[in-house]
Amino acid sequence: MRIGIIGGAGHVGLPMGIVLADAGFSVTLIDTDEERLRTVEDGELPFSEPGGEPLLESALEADRLDTTADIGATADCDVVFIVIGTPIDEHHNPQMDVLLGVVDEVIDHIEEDTLLVFRSTIYPGTTNIVCDRLEDAGHEVGEDVYVT
């Protein structure tokens, strides 16, 4: 089983990816921050995570962890975690554009029987919007794709 993590070089996504790889899953870290991805590929963590580096090194050696900036990699994933934040504006209104843009890109690539997991902090109602977009794209949520 292959797991893709969008935001996979972040403080939540990266440790989660390393632990999942250590548990035996094949993990693809998908992130726009290519510098962080290069650091990870070199076996180093871009931030302090005690105990993380030996697990990262063994995941890389076992070929269970790879990285990419290409969101199209989600096409090869059975489970896709989304772990990017939702910024707020000066009035504390959520700025959903980036997250929903990512969701639309995932929908363009998603294969049948994929599980889409929102692991980041999201605004109430986000999963309903995502389910509507999946249905608009011809999917049947709960039947051919799954969202949590």
Residues that bind ligand NAD (CB under 6 A): 6-7, 9-13, 30-33, 36, 83-85, 98, 102, 120-121
Looking at beta carbons only, is 6 or 110 nearer to ligand NAD? 6
- Pairs from 17-25 (Cβ < 8 Å, separation ≥ 24): 17/65, 18/52, 18/55, 18/56, 18/59, 18/65, 19/55, 21/55, 21/59, 21/62, 21/64, 21/65, 22/55, 22/58, 22/59, 24/64, 25/1, 25/64
Nearer residue to ligand NAD within complex by CB, 102 or 110: 102
* Smallest gap from residue 52 Cβ to ligand NAD (A): 14
Closest to ligand NAD by CB, 100 vs 131, is 100
CB of 50 to ligand NAD, least distance (A): 14
Residue 27: CB minimum distance to ligand NAD, A: 15
| Residues 12, 83 contacting (CB under 8 angstroms) | yes
**Smaller CB separation from ligand NAD, 60 or 82:** 82
